[in-house]
Each structure stands twice: as C-alpha cells, then as structure tokens.
Structure 1
Amino acid sequence: MFLILVAFGVCAQDYPESYMCFKTNTEMKIDGLLSQEEWGKAKWSNKFVDIEGDAKPKPTYKTRVKMLWDEDYFYIAAELEEPHIWAKLKQRDTVIFYDNDFEVFIDPQGDNHNYYEFEVNALNTIWDLLIAKPYRDGAPAINAWDIKGMKSAVKVYGTLNDPSDKDKKWCIEMAFPWQVLKECAYQGRKPKSGEQWRVNFSRVNWDIEIVDGKYQKKINPDTGKAYPEHNWVWSPQGVIAMHQPETWGYVEFSDQAVGEKSMSPKKDLDYPTKKELIRLYYLEKKMFKKYGKYFDKITSDHEISIETTSRQFLISIKGESGKNWYINQESKIWSE
C-alpha cells in the first residue's frame, strides 16, 4: 500500500459548452444553404475558440454551429468564415484534416468509449470513423465503418480553389441517422427528451500562401515544412487533442418544437466528480509508467475507493447526484 500526494490532472474548463437541441417537425432538405425556416429558429452556438482554450489567441475566423433533431436524424449546421476557401482531397475516408476541414465528435453514452468522428472538407469529401476507446488507451480507429444513410452538403460563398478573389464563408449541413448513432447509445436507442449526449466540433485551418496562382500551405523556412495547423473548437480541450471525450460539450435533446420557447440545458452535477476521476486516471497511468504498478492509495479532495491488480485499476467516487461513478485503466467512465 502506498500513499501519494499529487497535484496532477487535466482540466480544459470549469464546465464544457452546452446546447439545447430542439425538435423539428419539418422535413429538412440537406443542401448546405441553411435557408429553411427551422434553421432560422435555432440558435447559433458560441463562437469557436482555440483547442487549448484561453491559453491561446482567439481564432482568426469565426466558426459556429446549430443543431436540430427529429425522429430519424440528428441535424448539424456549421458556418465557417474564410477569405480563401480551398480543398484538394476527393477520396472518401482519406485523412481529411490534411485540408481545411470541419469535424464532428459524438459520444452517445458519455463514457469515453464507442464514439463517432466525422470529417468533411469544402468539396464535401467525408471521412467517418468509429472509435472503440481513445487513442491514449491503445485503440485504433475503425476506418472501414461507414455512417450508412448519413447526408451532407456544402455551400461555398465564393469560389473554391480560386486565389484571385476573396471568399466569404462555407456552410455545411449534415443529417446523422439515429438508426446508426443508436448502436453505441444507452439501451441501443435514440435519446429521449431531457437526455444529454457528449458532442464536440473542431475546425482545422492551415495557414496558406499563393504560389504560381495556386494555394499552398505556408512553409516554415526554418524547417522546410508547413506550419502547424490551427485547431478551433466549440468546447476547449485544454491540450491539442480532440480525443478526450470527457472535455466535450453537452447537447441536451428536447421534444419542444424549435422556436416555441427558450430553454437552457441542465447542468451535470457530477461533472466535478468526472474531472477528478480523469485526474486520478492520468495519475495512475503516470505512476504505472514510472513504477510498473498501479496504486491503491491516492490523496484526493473526494472520498475515493481504489481497487488494483497488476494490470488494472478501478476508482470510484460518489457524485453530487448520489450516483457512484467509476473509471478504469482504459478511461471508461460509468455510473451505477
């Protein structure tokens, strides 16, 4: 038995971004225009920030999203301001963030496991992935998986791949079928009114320059390589890493028709508990790397219980809601 006193952990924000997703009773046309009355009733999210949060400057260009849902789809609309819109990749399931792109991350159960990633560029070339657990826990992305029945469209306000003029923005409209998303959801179903899923959005934006009348990524003369991309997100991660589902935003689904009245999402009373579990997870990983074992005694401001074996651990904390929350060595979080 060991006692460790530490000040170690990852915290992106006091509380993630949240959004109330209202229902639409109108058939949505996926064309990228966002011109339907239902979209006009839905509120825009807060503008995106740097992935590291307040530690970095605000994004150069504005990005924001809206959300709706009905019995068949989860709808997402995105607006990305950009004076020079370009895209090259045309092959589905290639690495889309080598272009400027927009990305959607959905964790239906909020347990850090079995979540979805979707990327799209201005050519409407998509890359969809199913991820069993975060990369930090050793799981590969499942690239062969496809979101069957998913619909997307892009509208460019300007001229794509034309450096001779200035563009305004590009908009994306997406419809994710519940028939697919429910596979990783609680009880294998779409959300009920009042339930929340963990969701985040990312925009990858590269610095570009015009060479011989064409766009190319701006090259750092000291390295001969392109400057690193910018990562702008809805809910900040605290580090340059999107695959931390515990720091994604909260989307609450409401049966209330969009535009009828204003409502705010519920606050997750147990979010501080989940943050502490993640801090302890990272600490256990650090100690295992250094000492080759997990520890069953760690100092915490919470009353905790830890069970360990030579290769596994299970930490539990009672949350403000009265639920007992758990985390294991693969960063899976759940309650009983």
Structure 2
Amino acid sequence: MKKRAFALLLAAATGCSAGSEIIARRAAAEPTVDGRLDEPDWKTAHWVTLDGSRPARPQTDARWEEIYRAAGTVGYAREQFAQSVRAAALWTASGLYFAFEVEDADITARMKDGDTLWLEDAVELFLARHARPGEPFLELQLSPANAVYLVPPPGKTLPRPRTGVSVDGTLNRSLERDRKWTAELFLPWDELERAGLAERPGAGNGGTVAAVRFAAWDLSIYSQLRLNRFTTPGRANPAFPEFYRPLRLVSPPASASEAGDRPHSP
C-alpha cells in the first residue's frame, strides 16, 4: 500500500499518471512514409486521442454566446470542437515512426519549410529523452502541404526528417468542405541518439526510450477559431517536458490494454 501511494505521488510530481505511457509497437516491416497510413501495422497501432485543447471546449451557453459574438456563428465552432485528432507511434530496428489522423472540415496550409506553420493547420511532435523539468527537447511541426518546421535541442542539429501527408478533401479551398488529413514521419535511431533525444532498444532502458507529446493546430475560416489540441496531462505550453508521456517500445502481440482508443480506419 505504501509503495502504491509513493508511486502515485511520484506520478503526480512528474506530470504523469497511471496508464499515461505512449506505446510504440514494433512494425512487421518498414512503413512507407507517404502519409496514407494504409499498412496493417498502423491499423493495429496504439492510437492516442489529443484530449486537451485551448481554448477549452465551452461548457456553458454563456461561453458559446461569446464565440457567437466573435465569429457570427456557433454551429461551425461546435463542429470544430467535435473534430478528433489522434496520433500513434511504431518502431523498427531503423528508428521511430509517428503518425497523425486529423479530422478537419477546412484544411489550410500555404506556408513553406521553416515558416510559422502553427498559424495555419499543423501537427506537432515534441520529443525528449526523459519526462522531467529542464530536459532538452525537439519541436517538429508538419503541415498538410508537407512543410516542416524543425527546432532541435540547443547545440544539436537534425536533418529534415522523412515525412508524408495525405489530404482527404481539398487544400486551401475554404469554400469546399473537407474531411481529414493524415501525416507520417520517420526519425532514425542514429540521429535521435546523436541529438540526445532517445535510446535505441536494447540499451538497458526497459523499453522506455524517450518521452513525447503530441499537439495540433487547426485554423478554420468557418468558425474564425484557431484551435490548439494536445495530449494531457499538463499545461498547453509544450516547453515543459515534465508533462510529456514516456514512450515505451513493445513487440507484438500487444495486450488488450495497449490496443488504443479504437481500431484505425483510414
């Protein structure tokens, strides 16, 4: 009992909670990084919903009324808040693969590599070796136009990662209704280790090779809202690695508790 109480206190102090790990299953083959996510490994991956947002979803009629006064509409805002963003990870002997599935009725991405992608639509990966205060971290953003914004840890360099996106709908045509977009990226173990961001499997780390946080930005012309989604716990500001979730590698088959939110269906 005392050990369990201590573990709960430790989890609270580090910003983690029971069951908050991100599970990366071993892929049977190297995924093709094209953003389509049609490999069987992505269908059975541990998918995690980005369960926090800023602004937070309104809980009162008065808050919805504030949105109506600002945007002139509330129906589109309700739709935007209801849209889901999910992320998952896989691993192979070569490195780590990450994927995002983003529901979006208005897919917007005009910016290029190195631009401030978060001002439009983008997904974000934050990666550190440990989930603890002051830990150096990687910030990586990817847009529906396959543009990348990359900020490595201080004093480190990383090449542009291999990325791919797929759009189910239109790009930058706000008068047409879209459905979703999906994104995929690959980070090799060699680069991750050189940057101090992860340890490859077999390094005596018990399978916990890094700490991650997933986030996304959604700009909608319909609602006039720019919505930031992210994995909890912790504040929305991703510059606090103590709120990242441990990334643990497993080999198939995964247990029922590691099955994710629901089966993936591109």
Q: Quickly name the TM-score band, shorter chain normalised.
A: 0.7 to 0.9
Paired letter, 2:17 = Y
Please give the per-residue CA displacement for 1:242-280, whole angstroms capped at 9, x wherever unaligned: 1111011221112x13xx231758xxxxxxxxxxxxxxx
Q: Identity of paired residues, percent?
A: 20
SS at match of 1:206: strand
Corresponding residue for 2:120? 99
Q: CA deviation at 1:149?
A: 6.3
Equivalent position amino acid for 1:172 in 2: A
How far residue 164 of structure 1 moved from its aligned partner, in angstroms, is 3.0
Amino acid aligned to 2:141: E
Distance 1:118 1:149, change over 3 A: closer
Distance 1:47 1:124 in 2: 21
Output one character per residue of 1:285-307: Cα deviation in whole Å (capped at 9) or x when no partner: xxxxxxxxxxxxxxxxxxxxxxx
TM-score (norm 2): 0.73
- 1:110 paired with 2:131, answer yes
Please tell me whether the aligned partners of residues 103 and 203 of structure 1 are also in contact (alpha carbons under 8 angstroms).
Answer: yes
Shift of 1:194: 2.2
Aligned-partner residue type, residue 230 of structure 1:
L
| Counterpart AA for 2:173 | D
| 1:81 alignment counterpart | 103
C-alpha contact 1:64 1:234 (8 A) present in aligned 2: no
Match of 1:250 in 2: 246
CA gap of 1:182–1:13, structure 2 versus 1, over 3 A, is closer
Distance (Å, rounded) in 2 between the aligned partners of 1:183 and 1:35: 31
Displacement, 1:12?
A: 9.8
**Greater helix fraction, Structure 1 or Structure 2:** 2
Structure scoring higher RCO (CA < 8 A, sep ≥ 6) equals 2
The answer to whether the 8 Å contact 2:128/2:135 transfers is yes
Residue 179 of structure 2 is aligned to residue 161 of structure 1: no
Distance 2:140 2:150 in 1: 4
Deviations 1:20-77 (A, max 9, x none): 2111131211111100111112131134322587998994320001110011120111
Letter in 1 for 2:249: F
Inter-CA distance 122–99: structure 2 relative to 1 (3 Å threshold): same
- Over the aligned positions, Cα root-mean-square deviation in angstroms equals 3.1
Q: CA deviation at 1:99?
A: 1.5
CA distance in 2, matches of 1:12, 1:114: 16
CA distance in structure 1 between the partners assigned to 2:257 and 2:84 by the alignment: 23
How many angstroms does 1:174 deviate by? Answer: 0.8
Matches of 2:59 and 2:201 in 1, distance apart? 35
Alignment of 1:145-294 (within 5 A): 147-148=158-159, 150-185=161-196, 189-192=199-202, 194-209=207-222, 218=224, 229-238=226-235, 240-254=236-250, 256-257=251-252, 260-262=253-255
Aligned residue for 2:28, secondary structure, equals: coil
Contact 2:109 2:145 in 1 (8 A): yes
Gaps of 5+ in 1: 1-9, 133-141, 210-216, 219-226, 266-336
Preserved contact between residue 219 and residue 227 of structure 2 (Cα < 8 Å): yes
> In 1, distance between residues paired with 2:165 and 2:201?
27
Give 3-state SS (helix, strand or coil) of 1:94's partner.
coil
- TM-score, structure 1 as length reference: 0.59
1: CA distance between counterparts of 2:190 and 2:164? 20
| Contact in 2 for aligned 1:115/1:184 (Cα 8 Å) | no
State the Cα distance separating 1:161 from its structure 2 match: 1.1
Structure 1 counterpart SS, 2:109: coil
Shift of 1:203: 0.7
Q: Is the 8 A contact 1:206 1:230 kept in 2?
A: yes
Match of 1:64 in 2: 86
